[in-house]
Chain A
């Protein structure tokens, strides 16, 4: 384990709203593990999906400004919980290597941006910099009995040339972490499928179909819950679960955790610190059953 893990932290817009519990739990587990996160000062939106659909240089300008702030902090790596922010920041760094493109972007900014910064996801630093075996050493409340599927979504590892983390078709980072925490991980065959993403707004039916399939499959393979690493995936599966049930005539009641929340539980952090109460599908019954060992009894029976 690297003794001095020190990163700039880019929360991203959703961390201030829909995925506040992802932000809370990410910060809480990093603190518990001794990973130092310092917020990027005066950060702005990465541009999300709309910016790069309209204009690549504009999108990169937004991200470049953030990266420049990281560089001026004297740090060379930045971590973000959100895969979409991650993709935008990494894309900007990559595109800015081209001189013509860099000039175009720099024209849009107050001053030329230094984008020589490596961006990683929270998941990636846990696996690559901290190490799963070191996480395992810190587990005080193992997730014994919990049967969970890991859902990565479509952009966390893609495009592979850019993201350079885990397997693009069969990622195992979250599966391995959950296993290290004592949970039973069922192989989730749709782990890199799309949830419908931002189609939730213009074409809700697409999300109902795609996210519905994810929930159906999770149920079929006997998962009690899914863990995610993406605010948008989590929102589609969690917040829209009722809509999906209504649209598809299903009756899912499946908690959708951020992996950082379950990791925090295993590290002995409180539900409040991890924002468990912010989830739409209540994990109450499941968490209680885990806490008093009822899951194990049920399984034994």
Chain B
């Protein structure tokens, strides 16, 4: 094979600490190399043209580019060599940027290491073979996990684009966090009035199948052909016949059930519909609080239900759905602020979270939109808002900024004045982060028109003083201590990854960061993709986001799915394992170790043999290292190819 080597400067990224001309010169001496040069930007148009020209001029059979990581430009250069008529697998990349120039400053050592890496690449290239992709059919249905505003947007966009959508939501209603909000910033329009119709659209859209109160049990398959096992949790109510009339809820005598929708500022009934605009508007029983399910006595709901829907014997049910793509929109949860002992650690009833306050402000909330202190039901006069509770605080392991608390705090201060004109609000803040369209203007309005007292500093302590709470903090602009006698304290609690995010990520085989937020494919260029083909992200599961950003991502993810499904067939990656049937002894070890279930046993003239299902194989190579006979070989990373690289490196 005639090989061409191109050593990239990457501007000064590589050239500054690697003598690329010397690397090219050294490469010219390698067996098989007939052409080697160094270029300023190999990935640029002239750089790629140089490769194409060299292939034609020198009749090259393979190309090595020594530049950045293959994650950056392997696809680019594969297309380049294809353009010149070569098979795209007759190309190798040597990573002399991330693995060399960026990590060491010793030019001589870097140059030597780069020469070694190029030698390894050429040796492997000589043993490469032309590989061909196969085409396979895809299932043009999409799964949306999570029914918050991001998931709703993705589902509706996909459904409007003609795709069949399956939506799985773990609570008994869709709507997510946005459904709990009273108003939205910076327009102060009613949250449920904008979200409600979209929720109804989901329920009524002929292309959308909604599984509420359900969770993802298992995900198998690959892009284009996923198989999803959905657990429909027992609701103890037959949803086919439930009309959502609410009589069961009225009559249920168990009145102390946990009301998660209302953030536990009040109780709900053991059988409940979370809120009047719930979609689906169906009742479910919370078995933890149902006397019938706990003690076998009661059954009032069954007696009053006009449709006879109550079924105390109901069990969890499993359904299987086949889809070709997945949009993950699992949102966020609130930081558990009770680690802050200085704020009372949960001991003071009149210290509440921003989301609890939101439920209190909401006309459909448990207080009917009246602001009342949880301790005595009195209207507060002095309300203190504390920002950055569980945000930008390394001491509690949350160094990141949640990003939307500054805005909702300003909104809540404005609403407080609207509800209680005689009240005075105070906001303790670190910095105001209001970087969105009309956002900064909005926080100014809270200060200037609504007379909110913004105090730059942290609160060091809250303690009860009579029936008030004394809030003590620093005013770092004045350089003084501040004490406010507050009637109510609202904590702007930060966002963290939703409960169960990491478990779901493992089912989806996608990566997550140390906080549990899902990793996008590329921080700049692949914001809604993941590293697993066919799995996309939308909304706060990728990192804290406000409503407009979540919606934008929902639409972006839908666009990606529609793009993927614009083809009827996808090309499979030929970098899969292949069994050499002559060497296989049918021991079955590869079948046991394959994490994807991609190897099956077949009968070959009465003998057991292993066989790889190419469309399921992910090319991880575990079977290759397990096989005692060396009968399974991963294409493009065969034992011979890897050993040739080792030999090239360990010459002496």
Write the residues of chain A forming the contact surface with B, with a CB cutoff of 8 angstroms.
167-170, 189-190, 193, 217, 220
Residues of A within 8 Å of B345, CB to CB, are 169-170
Is A189 within 8 A of B341, CB to CB? no
Q: How far is the CB of A199 from chain B (nearest CB, A)?
A: 15
Q: How far is the CB of B148 from chain A (nearest CB, A)?
A: 34
Is A168 within 8 A of B341, CB to CB? yes
Indicate whether B567 reaches chain A with its CB closer than 8 angstroms. Answer: no
Q: A169-B342, A170-B345 are in contact. Are A220 and B466 (CB under 8 A)?
A: yes
Residues of B within 8 Å of A170, CB to CB, are 341, 345, 347
Indicate whether B524 reaches chain A with its CB closer than 8 angstroms. Answer: no
Tell me, in angstroms, the Cα distance from A168 to B461 when the chains sit together: 12
The 4 nearest A-B residue pairs measured at CB: A169-B341, A189-B463, A170-B341, A169-B342
Tell me, in angstroms, the Cα distance from A299 to B371 when the chains sit together: 38
Is B466 within 8 A of A190, CB to CB? no
Residues of B within 8 Å of A193, CB to CB, are 461
The chain A residue sitting closest to B466, CB to CB, is A220
Q: How far is the CB of B137 from chain A (nearest CB, A)?
A: 59
Interface string of B323-363 (1 = CB under 8 A from A): 00000000000000000111001010000000000000000
Tell me, in angstroms, the Cα distance from A169 to B341 when the chains sit together: 5
Q: How far is the CB of B489 from chain A (nearest CB, A)?
A: 14
The chain B residue sitting closest to A191, CB to CB, is B463
Q: List 16 A-B contacts (CB under 8 A).
A: A167-B341, A168-B341, A169-B340, A169-B341, A169-B342, A169-B345, A170-B341, A170-B345, A170-B347, A189-B463, A189-B464, A189-B465, A190-B463, A217-B465, A220-B465, A220-B466
Tell me, in angstroms, the Cα distance from A60 to B345 when the chains sit together: 35
Interface string of B444-482 (1 = CB under 8 A from A): 000000000000000001011110000000000000000
Tell me, in angstroms, the Cα distance from A189 to B348 when the chains sit together: 11
Tell me, in angstroms, the Cα distance from A193 to B481 when the chains sit together: 14
Tell me, in angstroms, the Cα distance from A181 to B17 when the chains sit together: 73
Q: How far is the CB of B345 from chain A (nearest CB, A)?
A: 6
Q: How far is the CB of A210 from chain B (nearest CB, A)?
A: 11
The chain B residue sitting closest to A187, CB to CB, is B347
The number of chain B residues touching the other chain, given as a range, is 10 to 19
Q: How far is the CB of B460 from chain A (nearest CB, A)?
A: 10
Residues of A within 8 Å of B341, CB to CB, are 167-170
Tell me, in angstroms, the Cα distance from A220 to B466 when the chains sit together: 8
Q: How far is the CB of A218 from chain B (nearest CB, A)?
A: 13
Residues of B within 8 Å of A167, CB to CB, are 341
Tell me, in angstroms, the Cα distance from A201 to B594 when the chains sit together: 75
Residues of B within 8 Å of A220, CB to CB, are 465-466
The chain A residue sitting closest to B340, CB to CB, is A169
Q: How far is the CB of A189 from chain B (nearest CB, A)?
A: 4
Tell me, in angstroms, the Cα distance from A220 to B347 when the chains sit together: 19
Q: How far is the CB of B481 from chain A (nearest CB, A)?
A: 11
Tell me, in angstroms, the Cα distance from A169 to B345 when the chains sit together: 9
Residues of A within 8 Å of B465, CB to CB, are 189, 217, 220
Residues of B within 8 Å of A168, CB to CB, are 341
Residues of B within 8 Å of A190, CB to CB, are 463
Tell me, in angstroms, the Cα distance from A167 to B339 when the chains sit together: 10
The chain B residue sitting closest to A193, CB to CB, is B461
Tell me, in angstroms, the Cα distance from A190 to B463 when the chains sit together: 7
The chain B residue sitting closest to A221, CB to CB, is B464
Besides A169-B345, A170-B345, 15 other A-B contacts (C-beta < 8 A): A167-B341, A168-B341, A169-B340, A169-B341, A169-B342, A170-B341, A170-B347, A189-B463, A189-B464, A189-B465, A190-B463, A193-B461, A217-B465, A220-B465, A220-B466
The chain B residue sitting closest to A216, CB to CB, is B465
The chain A residue sitting closest to B470, CB to CB, is A189
Within 8 A of A (CB), among B462-517: 463-466
Residues of A within 8 Å of B461, CB to CB, are 193
Q: How far is the CB of A169 from chain B (nearest CB, A)?
A: 3
Tell me, in angstroms, the Cα distance from A114 to B464 when the chains sit together: 46
Tell me, in angstroms, the Cα distance from A193 to B461 when the chains sit together: 9
Tell me, in angstroms, the Cα distance from A58 to B466 when the chains sit together: 46
Tell me, in angstroms, the Cα distance from A168 to B466 when the chains sit together: 24
Tell me, in angstroms, the Cα distance from A230 to B345 when the chains sit together: 25
Q: How far is the CB of B375 from chain A (nearest CB, A)?
A: 15
Residues of B within 8 Å of A169, CB to CB, are 340-342, 345
Q: How far is the CB of B57 from chain A (nearest CB, A)?
A: 63
Tell me, in angstroms, the Cα distance from A10 to B461 when the chains sit together: 33
Residues of A within 8 Å of B464, CB to CB, are 189
Tell me, in angstroms, the Cα distance from A217 to B466 when the chains sit together: 10
Q: How far is the CB of B146 from chain A (nearest CB, A)?
A: 36
Q: How far is the CB of B485 from chain A (nearest CB, A)?
A: 14
Most chain B CB within a 10 A radius of its CB, from A169, A170, A190: A169
Q: How far is the CB of A49 from chain B (nearest CB, A)?
A: 21
Tell me, in angstroms, the Cα distance from A189 to B345 when the chains sit together: 12
Q: How far is the CB of A30 from chain B (nearest CB, A)?
A: 30
The chain A residue sitting closest to B463, CB to CB, is A189
Q: How far is the CB of A99 from chain B (nearest CB, A)?
A: 27
Tell me, in angstroms, the Cα distance from A71 to B461 when the chains sit together: 40
Within 8 A of A (CB), among B381-412: none
Tell me, in angstroms, the Cα distance from A141 to B289 when the chains sit together: 45
Tell me, in angstroms, the Cα distance from A221 to B341 when the chains sit together: 20
The chain B residue sitting closest to A168, CB to CB, is B341
Tell me, in angstroms, the Cα distance from A167 to B463 when the chains sit together: 16
Q: How far is the CB of A37 from chain B (nearest CB, A)?
A: 32
Q: How far is the CB of B462 from chain A (nearest CB, A)?
A: 9
Q: How far is the CB of A117 from chain B (nearest CB, A)?
A: 28
Q: How far is the CB of A264 from chain B (nearest CB, A)?
A: 30
Residues of A within 8 Å of B463, CB to CB, are 189-190
Q: How far is the CB of A34 from chain B (nearest CB, A)?
A: 34
Within 8 A of A (CB), among B584-613: none
Tell me, in angstroms, the Cα distance from A189 to B461 when the chains sit together: 10
Q: How far is the CB of A52 from chain B (nearest CB, A)?
A: 23
Q: How far is the CB of B419 from chain A (nearest CB, A)?
A: 29
Tell me, in angstroms, the Cα distance from A193 to B345 when the chains sit together: 16
Residues of A within 8 Å of B342, CB to CB, are 169
Q: How far is the CB of A151 from chain B (nearest CB, A)?
A: 13
Q: How far is the CB of B254 from chain A (nearest CB, A)?
A: 32
Tell me, in angstroms, the Cα distance from A167 to B344 when the chains sit together: 12
Q: How far is the CB of A209 from chain B (nearest CB, A)?
A: 11
Tell me, in angstroms, the Cα distance from A169 to B465 when the chains sit together: 17
Residues of B within 8 Å of A189, CB to CB, are 463-465
Tell me, in angstroms, the Cα distance from A170 to B345 when the chains sit together: 9
Tell me, in angstroms, the Cα distance from A220 to B464 when the chains sit together: 11
Tell me, in angstroms, the Cα distance from A189 to B342 when the chains sit together: 10
Tell me, in angstroms, the Cα distance from A168 to B347 when the chains sit together: 15
Tell me, in angstroms, the Cα distance from A220 to B345 when the chains sit together: 22
Tell me, in angstroms, the Cα distance from A169 to B346 when the chains sit together: 12
Residues of A within 8 Å of B340, CB to CB, are 169
Tell me, in angstroms, the Cα distance from A89 to B340 when the chains sit together: 28
Q: How far is the CB of A164 from chain B (nearest CB, A)?
A: 15
Tell me, in angstroms, the Cα distance from A189 to B343 when the chains sit together: 11
Q: How far is the CB of B338 from chain A (nearest CB, A)?
A: 11
